[in-house]
Amino acid sequence: MEITEVLYNLVFDYTLRTVAMGSAILGIVSGALGVFAVLRRQSLLGDSVSHTALPGIALAFLLTGSKAPLVMIIGAAVAGWIGTLFVLHIINNTPIKADGALGMILSVFFGFGLVLLTLIQKMPNSRQAGLEKFLFGQASALMVQDVVIMAILGGLSLLLVAILWKEFKMLSFDPEYAVSLGFPTRTITIILTTILVIAVVIGLQTVGVVLMSAMIVAPASAARQWTDRLGVMVVLSGLFGALAGVSGAVISSLTAKLPTGPTIVLCISAIVVISILFAPNRGLVMRAARNYMNRQRLITDAILLDLFELGIQHHDPHYAHPSSTLKVMSITRGNIERSLHNLQEHDFVQEIGEDNWALTESGVRKAAILANRMEEKS
Amino acid sequence: MTPAQIEIQLIAAVVAVACALPGVFLILRRTAMMSDAISHAILLGIVLAFLVTEDLTSPFLIVAAAMTGLLTVLLVEILHKTRLVKEDAAIGLVFPVLFSIGVILIARFAGSVHLDTDAVLLGELAFAPFNRFVVFGVDIGPRSLYLMGGILLINLAFILLFFKELKLSTFDAGLAASLGFMPWILHYGLMSLVSVTAVGAFDAVGSILVVALMIGPPSAAYLLTERLSTMLLLSALMGMVGAISGFWIAHWADISIAGSMATMIGVIFILVYLLSPGRGLLASVRRRVRQKWEFALAMLVIHLSQHEHQPEAVNECRADHLTEHIRWNAKFAQQVVRLAKHRNLIDETDGRLNLTSNGRSLAARKVVG
């Protein structure tokens, strides 16, 4: 399919446009809010919230008999919120650590949700099929009204982040300092947790309970590699989330039998892998290149110093030596010849006759500087 | 009880114990969420093996799934070792990818067969007895009972054989490493157990209940004891109680067995958390209340002893003055005075509070330290 056709469909195909917009909103909101979860080492809170939301969805349906998206979202949010408070309470009041508290609450709540789902299934003419989409996500069933609600709730959450920016920042990096300044950290924690819960529940319908956690962790983890500034990280993370959401929606719409939720997750995971490999400062490739260059410089510096030492002993700074001599003196087992040629290119050494190496004028100067520096250090 | 019900309960009990044993170490080593990651990621292994063998009962499925579990652990470790992401984020990054690939493979290649994500996530214990284990034409019981029984034995054997090593590496990994015990081998051994147990349990109870059974009972046991062996026993016991009571409630109310078991485990945890003698909520509330009164009494006797035999004692040592001086409200001050009289720390004459010898010695003790 042509790229123009894809763009055309993105604008004029009702279903694709709705799904893509929903996924984009989900990506922006969960990406931006996920930053705080990841920085506060609560990455798995998203996983817990999405699972604990299930009984809320079921209860909301049991109580109201309605499957309106807002009812479902409120039910999910209340249950997710209560579950999170349980988690925080257990962490603060028992010897059980975060991992145990999260795992237990998510599995127990989810189990209870299953119980409620089977109860609903038994009800006559309940048409509970609509609830299952929350388990595994069904982006293709997104309606415009769903997207509108997602946009409103997501927009409110982002607005709250903007208003409480300073507080959230402090809580993420130095909670003790925030306490000492007299900020109501408990209240701020609860607000932050609440909007994280909202970010999770508005995505449940699109990517489902299991995969929602990835939408919290992955965009933020990718954005973290590119920047050390919180503001940039939040914006980048939202962008990555939106990019993954839209491309996942488009790719799955182009291919038969390709579920949207998992495709979005694979897209955002690809962004994570690219970021981890190629980000300019922290990226693995750049790190390896930096290490390699440092190692090379160490070897060539050592050779210059060796030649310099030999020159002093021979009372002639330009005294030439075969590479085998340098190899004996070398601290590493690196390739001496290659390093010598490298130095020759920079005009620090010259080859005098067959395999006989001497410092040039600039080589002597450079080596003298290095030797000086060594002395200063020792 | 019908034979099928007995068999289901047997399977449930065996699964509960098999999950609880490695779960204790997950809780103590703070890697509980790894069980969540593994139990989701094994879907990929099962799907891949199924696509190759086209047989849902093939033992190859279990091997492949367990390998995927280990792959999850390995990937999390690699990602964490880059120091670019924290460990919790690494877990949250790895398992959704593997799970997504699994879901996509099912949707594309296995849609028509009986292998759907519901079954993996939710399980259906009620069907377990239908899958019989037949040897030489003789039906000797449900297949998953033998499978989980075998896994339980492996878990037991591993923990009994390496009890000392596990204990050491769990509580002091540094010491274990310096003594040459190679904690990472035990780590991977343990994670292999978790993977195999999760795989074995998933078709009986589904992956979410695996997490509940692995984490819930050990968490509750952790609130009751600080001894590793006691914790193992209590976890196994509470897992069994949760599983069997969950089964009966599910039977009675006609609801999901796995869900009901997970719920019962939550109920057990809440009960333990409320009632545990040492670390329970009620115990600590009682402790705090007692501390509050003890502190108030100490304040009172110290206050009185400060002003005893002083000219201002006439004013200072009156019950109604306490509201002003120690900033207690009137009702609380009355209660403290009454309690102090009851304990024979003070007596009252014409509205004046006097220390008894008991009260005087308490004040002296408290002031010194």
- Mutation pick from B103, B125, B231 vs chain A, by most beta carbons of A within 10 Å, is B103
What is the interface size between A and B, counted as CB pairs within 8 Å? 206
Instruction: Look at residues B279, B296, B328 and tell me which one is the last residue of a structural domain.
Output: B279
Which amino acid is residue A240, in one-letter code? F
CB-based contacts of B1, cutoff 8 Å, min separation 6:
none
CATH, residue B348: 1.10.10.10
Same domain, yes or no: A107 and A240: yes
Instruction: Look at residues B217, B250, B279 and tell me which one is the last residue of a structural domain.
Output: B279
**Residues of chain B positioned with their CB less than 8 A from the CB of A90:** 273
CB atoms within 10 A of CB B132: 11
pLDDT at B73: 93
Query: A358 pairs with which residues across the strands?
Result: A350
- Whether A339 has a pLDDT exceeding 90, the answer reads no
Q: Least CA distance to A216: which residue of chain B?
A: B92
Three-state DSSP class for A4?
Answer: helix
Same domain, yes or no: A194 and A295: no
**Residues of chain A positioned with their CB less than 8 A from the CB of B40:** 210
* Banded model confidence at residue A310, pLDDT cuts 50, 70, 90: confident
A110-114, A214-218, A356-360, B11-15: least confidently modelled range: A356-360
* Banded model confidence at residue A169, pLDDT cuts 50, 70, 90: very high
A34-43, A111-120, B299-308, B316-325: least confidently modelled range: B316-325
Same domain, yes or no: B221 and B294: no
Q: Which residues span the domain enclosing A331?
A: 286-377
Instruction: Look at residues A231, A252, A279 and tell me which one is the last residue of a structural domain.
Output: A279
More reliable by pLDDT, A82 or B144: A82
pLDDT at A354: 79
Q: Smallest Cβ distance to B263: which of A43, A115, A218?
A: A115
Same domain, yes or no: A206 and A116: yes
Same domain, yes or no: B274 and B331: no
Same domain, yes or no: A290 and A274: no
Instruction: Look at residues A279, A314, A329 and tell me which one is the last residue of a structural domain.
Output: A279
Q: What distances in angstroms separate CA B265 from CA A103, A194, A259, A274, B218, one per listed residue? A: 12, 26, 33, 42, 10
CA distance B145 to chain A (A): 22
CB contact under 8 A, B208 and A110: yes
Q: What distances in angstroms separate CA A294 from CA A48, A92, A301, one per listed residue? A: 44, 46, 10
pLDDT at B349: 78
Q: Tell me: the pLDDT tens digits for A187-219? A: 999 999 999 999 998 888 888 888 888 999 999
**Residues of chain B positioned with their CB less than 8 A from the CB of A113:** 259
CATH, residue A296: 1.10.10.10
A101-115, A253-267, B155-169, B345-359: least confidently modelled range: B345-359
Same domain, yes or no: B289 and B268: no
A178-192, A308-322, A341-355, B120-134: least confidently modelled range: B120-134
pLDDT at B193: 92
- A300 part of contact set with chain B, CB < 8 Å: no
How many structural domains comprise chain A?
2
**Residue for token pair 């390896």:** A288
pLDDT at A122: 79
Instruction: Look at residues B244, B279, B314 and tell me which one is the last residue of a structural domain.
Output: B279
**Residues of chain B positioned with their CB less than 8 A from the CB of A136:** 103, 117-118
**Residues of chain B positioned with their CB less than 8 A from the CB of A43:** 86, 88-89, 91-92
The continuous run of DSSP H or E covering A81 comes out as helix A69-93
Same domain, yes or no: A267 and A352: no
Which amino acid is residue A174, in one-letter code? D
**Residues of chain A positioned with their CB less than 8 A from the CB of B218:** 100
pLDDT at B274: 92
Same domain, yes or no: B27 and B57: yes
CB atoms within 10 A of CB B325: 14
pLDDT at B118: 59
Q: Least CA distance to B112: which residue of chain A?
A: A257
pLDDT at B309: 77
pLDDT at B61: 82
Same domain, yes or no: B300 and B172: no
Q: What distances in angstroms separate CA B134 from CA A206, B14, B140, B141, B150, one per listed residue? A: 44, 20, 6, 8, 16
Same domain, yes or no: A105 and A217: yes
CATH, residue B83: 1.10.3470.10
Same domain, yes or no: A12 and A61: yes
CB contact under 8 A, A112 and B259: yes
- A207 part of contact set with chain B, CB < 8 Å: no
Contact status, residue B237 vs residue A98, Cβ threshold 8 Å: no
pLDDT at A372: 86
Same domain, yes or no: B260 and B183: yes
Provide mean pLDDT across the span A52-60.
92
**Residues of chain B positioned with their CB less than 8 A from the CB of A44:** 33, 36, 88, 91-92
Q: Which residues span the domain enclosing B181?
A: 3-279
Same domain, yes or no: B218 and B352: no
Same domain, yes or no: B21 and B153: yes
- CA nearest to A48, candidates A118, A98, A114: A98
How many structural domains comprise chain B?
2
pLDDT at A228: 92
CA A8 – CA A154 distance, rounded (Å): 27
CB contact under 8 A, A263 and B93: no
Same domain, yes or no: B336 and B270: no
The CA-based dihedral angle spanning residues B30, B32, B33, B37, taken in that order and rounded to the nearest 10 degrees: 130
pLDDT at A127: 59
pLDDT at B111: 59
- Whether A147 has a pLDDT exceeding 60, the answer reads yes
Same domain, yes or no: A46 and A183: yes
Provide mean pLDDT across the span A262-285.
93
CB contact under 8 A, B211 and A106: yes
Written as tens digits, the pLDDT of chain B (369 aa) is 788 888 889 989 999 999 999 999 999 999 999 999 998 898 899 889 888 887 777 778 888 988 999 999 999 999 999 889 998 999 999 999 999 998 888 888 865 555 555 555 556 666 666 677 676 777 777 878 888 899 999 999 999 999 998 999 888 888 888 888 888 888 899 999 999 998 888 767 777 788 999 999 999 999 999 899 999 999 999 999 999 999 999 999 988 888 999 999 999 999 999 998 877 888 888 999 999 998 888 888 888 888 877 777 777 777 777 777 777 888 888 888 888 888 888 888 777 788 888 888 888 888 875
- CA nearest to A70, candidates A81, A57, A79: A57
The continuous run of DSSP H or E covering B134 comes out as strand B132-135
Bridge pairing between strands A321-322 and A356-359? antiparallel
CB atoms within 10 A of CB A375: 8
- Mutation pick from B87, B100, B287 vs chain A, by most beta carbons of A within 10 Å, is B100
CB contact under 8 A, B32 and A100: yes
The interface predicted TM-score of the complex, written ipTM, equals: 0.86
- A59 part of contact set with chain B, CB < 8 Å: no
Same domain, yes or no: B55 and B130: yes
Same domain, yes or no: B227 and B304: no
Same domain, yes or no: A148 and A18: yes
More reliable by pLDDT, A150 or B318: A150
pLDDT at A192: 92
Same domain, yes or no: A199 and A342: no
Same domain, yes or no: A245 and A290: no
Same domain, yes or no: B295 and B196: no
CATH, residue A123: 1.10.3470.10
Two tokens, residue B309: 């035999």
Q: Least CA distance to A113: which residue of chain B?
A: B259
Q: What is the pTM of this model?
A: 0.85
CA B351 – CA B182 distance, rounded (Å): 73
Q: Smallest Cβ distance to A136: which of B33, B108, B117?
A: B117
Instruction: Look at residues A221, A251, A279 and tell me which one is the last residue of a structural domain.
Output: A279
pLDDT at A332: 65
